[in-house]
């Protein structure tokens, strides 16, 4: 803030942990970064958009894409991995945009988010928007459709995330920022390059039995059971299924991050389970969330 003029719209990234104040040094182990080894405000203080996704190579491709879109390309096209000291997660930065991989599933993204939230807090970042760009299975949608998540729900279609703390289950809500979701939908309509819908996203702990697939190593139910389950999900408003949205929504909400989930559907689960589209088609689909989010970021930056 300049002088004494209040800045009413400024929203910091929050931690909720009094113990952090007592730490002399905070080691962000899974990033291979730390408060005593890195000047986090200098490196990350200008971050306004954090984009996260499961695959390291996809998040590298995203930083190259967004650099070109923002006319901030490195002439040598070199985007160093900020987390080069570890192979758990990868991180890239161009101007106000940070791109971070999170691996597969709730535990993997939760570790990354704990350390990311502390990183943004230590760096004194303000007004940060975070978007998960992912892949998913669609329910009754044409493959390639992009789903902007209205609400993340669990495998019983309820908007909650269960976290076990000291052996006891704590239930947390999975609300996402509705206005951000609407803005992303609007961006997609302006782009007019692919179908985008707003809907609920089911977040599961398993890709095979947990998503009613018939092609895992184990399966004790029938095609009819599967169809009945997926149709109940669809009737509850579920458009797609993935494995990270619930804890992502919960943790971002708790830390004051404006959050959205944008996933492309790679197949229509009512018609099959195997990802048998060609590599080329799947690659094309996976670019859609990044095109949409790139367009949103440009609009927000007035480019």
Q: Which residues bind a second copy (CB under 8 A)?
A: 15-20, 23, 25-27, 29, 54-57, 85, 87-88, 103-108, 110-111, 113-115, 117-118, 121, 155-157, 163-167, 204-210, 212, 214-221, 223, 225-226, 229, 232, 243, 251, 254-255, 274-276, 279
Cα–Cα dist 271/227, whole Å = 9
Minimum distance, C-beta of residue 226 to a second copy, in the bound complex (Å)? 8
- Report the residue number, 156 or 193, with the smaller CB distance to a second copy: 156
Cα–Cα dist 146/196, whole Å = 5
Cα–Cα dist 74/253, whole Å = 34
Cα–Cα dist 253/271, whole Å = 35
Minimum distance, C-beta of residue 125 to a second copy, in the bound complex (Å)? 13
With CA atoms as reference, report the closest residue to 205 among 162, 238, 260. Answer: 162
Cα–Cα dist 86/12, whole Å = 28
134 is in an annotated binding site: yes
Cα–Cα dist 63/60, whole Å = 5
88 is in an annotated binding site: yes
The string of DSSP letters for 239-279 reads EEEESSHHHHHHHHHHTT-EEEEEEEEEEETTT-SS--S-H
- Report the residue number, 30 or 48, with the smaller CB distance to a second copy: 30
Minimum distance, C-beta of residue 56 to a second copy, in the bound complex (Å)? 5
DSSP category for residue 148: E
- Report the residue number, 59 or 187, with the smaller CB distance to a second copy: 59
Minimum distance, C-beta of residue 93 to a second copy, in the bound complex (Å)? 20
135 is in an annotated binding site: yes
Minimum distance, C-beta of residue 236 to a second copy, in the bound complex (Å)? 10
302 is in an annotated binding site: no
132 is in an annotated binding site: yes
Cα–Cα dist 205/218, whole Å = 15
Minimum distance, C-beta of residue 115 to a second copy, in the bound complex (Å)? 8
Cα–Cα dist 116/230, whole Å = 34
133 is in an annotated binding site: yes
Sequence-ordered list of residues with C-beta below 8 angstroms from that of 27, at least 6 positions apart, any chain: 34, 35
Binding residues for phosphate: 88, 132-135
Binding residues: 88, 132-135, 211, 213
Binding residues for substrate: 211, 213
């Amino acid at each position: 803030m300049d002088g004494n003029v209040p800045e009413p719209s400024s929203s910091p990234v929050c931690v909720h942990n009094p113990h952090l104040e007592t730490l002399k040094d905070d080691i962000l182990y899974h990033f291979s970064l730390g408060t005593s080894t890195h000047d986090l405000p200098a490196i990350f203080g200008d971050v306004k958009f954090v984009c996260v996704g499961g695959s390291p190579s996809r998040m590298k491709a995203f930083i190259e894409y967004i650099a070109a879109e923002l006319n901030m390309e490195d002439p040598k096209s070199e985007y160093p991995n900020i987390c080069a000291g570890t192979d758990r997660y990868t991180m890239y930065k161009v101007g106000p945009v940070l791109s971070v991989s999170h691996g597969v599933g709730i535990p993997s993204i939760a570790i990354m988010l704990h350390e990311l939230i502390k990183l943004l807090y230590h760096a004194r970042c303000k007004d940060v928007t975070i978007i998960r760009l992912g892949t998913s299975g669609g329910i009754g949608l044409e493959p390639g459709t992009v789903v902007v998540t209205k609400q993340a729900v669990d495998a019983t279609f309820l908007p909650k995330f269960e976290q076990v703390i000291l052996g006891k289950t704590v239930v947390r809500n999975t609300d996402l920022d509705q206005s951000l979701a609407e803005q992303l939908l609007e961006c997609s309509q302006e782009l007019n390059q692919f179908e985008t819908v707003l809907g609920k996203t089911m977040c599961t702990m398993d890709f095979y039995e947990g998503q009613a697939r018939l092609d895992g190593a184990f399966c004790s139910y029938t095609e009819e059971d599967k169809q009945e389950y997926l149709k109940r999900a669809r009737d509850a408003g579920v458009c797609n299924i993935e494995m990270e949205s619930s804890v992502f929504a919960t943790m971002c909400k708790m830390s004051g991050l404006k959050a959205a989930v944008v996933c492309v559907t790679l197949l229509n689960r009512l018609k099959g389970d195997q990802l048998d589209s060609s590599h080329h088609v799947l690659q094309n689909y996976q670019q859609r969330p990044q095109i949409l989010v790139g367009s949103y970021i440009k609009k927000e930056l007035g480019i």
